Chains A and B, each alone.
Chain A
Amino acid sequence: MVQAATTEAREALKSAMARLANGDQSALAEIYDATSAKLFGICLRILGDRKEAEDALQDVYVNLWQRADRYDPTRASPISWLATFARNRAVDRLRSGKVRQGAVPVEEAAPIPDAAPLADSLLIDAEKATQIHACLEELEERQRGAIRSAFFDGQTYAELAETADVPLGTMKSWVRRGLQKLRGCLEASE
């Protein structure tokens, strides 16, 4: 039953994305209802500030409405694409200088008010999630930690190096070695 409901929710999202691309404004409300908890969680995690995260989220949906045709179903599932889009917008905002980086340390940013585990229908891909976790586990701790910080906190090489108190070149070397190994592991799983 859960699987059927999840499939149905995903098909509904796919259909709403297609309608949005054809200019159906009502589809935006459906997409918002279905995805805002997931996308807001991402923006909040990256930005660590509710107001900033809400501004980023507004930007995501208004931009989605303006450029709905950018979504290409052959490249990613709707939720995967929307989540990537939201993360990118949040990271852009973090870099724009409007947000004081590091103003909200991770340990203070969590737990998030109103935080809730996501419904199954909003999980991107359990199989892929399991696989990338398994591949990350094969990396050295410092490689895995840096890659996770880049993804979850939107940190650049320079910021990672500063946080770890190592030279920039050393951090790049750690991460690249980790990415190389990660790539091999993920490719082998395909």
Chain B
Amino acid sequence: MSDAPTIKRDDPMLAAEYSLGLLEGEELLTARGKMTDGGIFVSRKDWWDNWFIPLSDEMDGAAPDAQLWERIDSAVNAKESGTDAGADVIALKQRLRNWQIAGSTAAAAAVAAVVLMVVSPNTLNTIQGAGDPSAPTIAAAPAAPLMANVPIGDTNLRIGVTYLPEAKEMLVSASGLTADGVHDHELWLVPADGSNLQSLGVVVAGEERRVTLPAEITGNMGDGVAVVLTREPLGGKPDGIDAGPVVAQGAFTQV
């Protein structure tokens, strides 16, 4: 038996559902997509967040283990001193400082997230649809890192992509993403010359990855080159069918 009449599911309703964490799958991605617009939907979610969170005052406080602060402090110090990262990342930190001085704080913060992250060696699991290698390319200046910040939701949900030209390595941080068990997300480079999109691989939710890119992709890397994120079946875009809908996008900026 239905509880008619049907409730109108407008954006304020979706924002409430997103704030509470009720959504999964397609509905969750729809809400995250709206968060990328940065406008009224973000304000609507803030409105609900600020109403719901006082309910947490009902939750008793509790003391974490006394050693937890030491763990946090050493994790922060390790990241600060760069002891958990390679020389490329240390060099990137210096560039970040220079860039912060230049005043682009929002993008600099995204680079900081990459600089500070723990990178683990990994290999790109899928590279498909390479563009035309003979086409004109936009090459980055030697050693100048490129950074793309791909927001796919609120502040927790963005993918940080950094490309280190000398090492031909790409760092992908997807720590804000959670897998829904139904879809995967695939990252694509949009070459500036209009050639086919090039897969940068399936983004592993909740992980940070370092991958080495092949020459046909590195040749297309450059300041202003766009990246998009598509929603795909598990495992990424199957061969022979179109890519799924674009759920987020960003562009590389030279740091």
Could you list which residues of chain A lie within 8 angstroms of chain B, going by C-beta atoms? 25, 28-29, 32, 36-38, 40-42, 44-45, 50, 53-54, 57-58, 61-63, 65-67, 69-70, 75-76, 80, 83-85, 87-89, 91-92, 95-97, 111-119, 122-126, 128-129, 132-133, 147-148, 150-152, 154-158, 160, 170, 173-177, 179-180, 182-183, 186
Contact = CB atoms under 8 A, between A and B. Distances in A.
A150 B57 contact: no
Contacts of A176: 7, 9, 13, 17
Given A41-B62, A95-B178, A157-B23, A85 B156 contact: yes
B69 A151 contact: no
Contacts of B60: 41, 45, 111-112, 115-118
A38 B54 contact: no
Interface string B41-59: 0000010011111111111
A41 B64 CA distance: 9
Nearest to B112: A66
B242 interface: no
Contacts of A70: 109, 155
Contacts of A175: 17, 22
Contacts of A57: 64, 68
5 contacts: A28-B73, A37-B62, A128-B50, A155-B22, A156-B23
A112 B62 contact: yes
Contacts of A92: 156, 176, 178, 206
A67 B23 CA distance: 26
Interface string B136-156: 000000000000000000011
Interface of A is mostly: helix
A114 B64 CA distance: 9
Interface in B1-60: 2-3, 6-9, 12-13, 16-17, 20-24, 46, 49-60
B240 interface: no
Given A157-B22, A173-B7, A42 B56 contact: yes
A37 B53 CA distance: 16
A87 B62 CA distance: 15
B7 A54 contact: no
Contacts of B49: 76, 80, 84
Nearest to A173: B3
Interface of B: 2-3, 6-9, 12-13, 16-17, 20-24, 46, 49-65, 68-69, 71-73, 75-76, 79-80, 105-106, 109, 112-113, 116-117, 155-156, 175-176, 178-181, 205-206
Given A58-B75, A156-B21, A180-B7, A118 B61 contact: yes
A32 B56 contact: no
Given A157-B23, A180-B8, 5 more contacts: A36-B64, A45-B59, A66-B113, A75-B46, A157-B24
A41 B62 CA distance: 5
A39 B3 CA distance: 38
A185 to B, nearest CB: 10
A157 B13 CA distance: 14
B20 A147 contact: yes
Contacts of B206: 92, 96
A173 B175 CA distance: 33
B22 A156 contact: yes
The 7 tightest CB contacts between A and B, nearest first, are A129-B54, A37-B61, A115-B60, A176-B7, A118-B61, A150-B20, A41-B61
